[in-house]
A and B are shown apart, each in its own frame.
Chain A
Amino acid sequence: DTGVSQNPRHKITKRGQNVTFRCDPISEHNRLYWYRQTLGQGPEFLTYFQNEAQLEKSRLLSDRFSAERPKGSFSTLEIQRTEQGDSAMYLCASSFPSETQYFGPGTRLLVL
């Protein structure tokens, strides 16, 4: 296994810009999760995919956020019209049909 990969690792953007992050799960893992971690806090669940279907979204995921997982492989998380409060580490995790999630290195977003 090559592990979960995320790109970019760091992103600096200006308020109001759109950003997109990518997550490549461990191959053959059919479940994929996105979490957000702010400074000094534990990760918080954002959304979950089983294959290409987005099955649950947290109320933390405002309508400026959208996630996709075309063909059930990689996933993208887009934030439109970024705000300073969006500054955080965005973590992706994947799992085979099981309870154990494996995390990627994260994408750190800074909104100026």
Chain B
Amino acid sequence: AQSVTQLDSQVPVFEEAPVELRCNYSSSVSVYLFWYVQYPNQGLQLLLKYLSGSTLVKGINGFEAEFNKSQTSFHLRKPSVHISDTAEYFCAVSGRGGSNYKLTFGKGTLLTVNP
């Protein structure tokens, strides 16, 4: 079984400032890691994913995340945010192997970008 903890429920920042959204996970097996973004009243859009290889992964809209196995973390970063980045962000994990890659999500972090 896996679990995901998103350490901040809300993160307010000013436009053009850097931001980091924190995610820690727990799992007894190796995992894949994902970040999804959800705009109001919409479904989830994949931002980026870590499957294997380089621990620094780049995604859409200028976001990147770093996998740290020793700290079981997968924090999301962006060097300069825009108003349009205001949304809910979800960190998720799935187990490797088998055929069911069901996702376990954190509770989400609401990123609010202020002018």
- Report the interface size class on chain A: 20 to 34
Whether A91 and B44, one on each chain, are in contact in the complex, defined by CB atoms closer than 8 angstroms, is: yes
- Is B46's CB under 8 angstroms from A50's CB? no
Within the complex, the shortest CB–CB distance from A5 to chain B, in Å, comes to 10
Q: Which of A42, A97, A108 contacts B92 (CB 8 A)?
A: A42
Known: A48-B102, A56-B102. A41 touches B108 (CB 8 A): yes
**How would residues 31 to 75 of chain A score, 1 for a CB under 8 Å from any chain B CB and 0 otherwise?**
101010000111111001010000110000000000000000000
Contact: A103 with B102, CB < 8 Å?
no
Secondary structure call for the A interface: strand
What string of 1s and 0s marks CB contacts (under 8 Å) between B4-35 and chain A?
10000000000000000000000000001010
Check A42–B43 contact: CB distance below 8 A: no
CB distance from A91 to the nearest CB of B (A): 6
* Residues of chain A within 8 A of B102, CB atoms compared: 33, 45, 48, 56
B residues less than 8 Å from A104 (CB atoms): 43
Q: How many residues of B contact A (CB 8 A)?
A: 26
Closest A residue to B41 by beta carbon equals A108
Contact indicator B105/A105 (Cβ below 8 Å): no
CA distance A56 to B100 in the complex (A): 8
Complexed CA–CA distance, A33 and B105 (Å): 14
Q: Are B46 and A100 in contact (CB under 8 A)?
A: yes
Q: Which chain B residues lie closer than 8 Å to A91 at the CB level?
A: 43-44
Check if A55 sits within 8 Å of B99, measured CB to CB: yes
**Contact call A41/B107, Cβ cutoff below 8 A:** yes
Q: Quick check: B32 and A43 within 8 Å, CB to CB?
A: no
**Does B56 interact with chain A (Cβ within 8 Å)?**
no
Shortest CB distance A102–B (Å)? 7
Question: Hey, which chain A residues are within 8 Å of B41, CB to CB?
Answer: 108
Q: Enumerate 14 A-B pairs (CB-CB under 8 Å) in ascending A order.
A: A41-B108, A42-B92, A42-B106, A42-B108, A43-B103, A44-B105, A45-B102, A100-B49, A102-B46, A103-B36, A103-B44, A103-B45, A104-B43, A106-B42
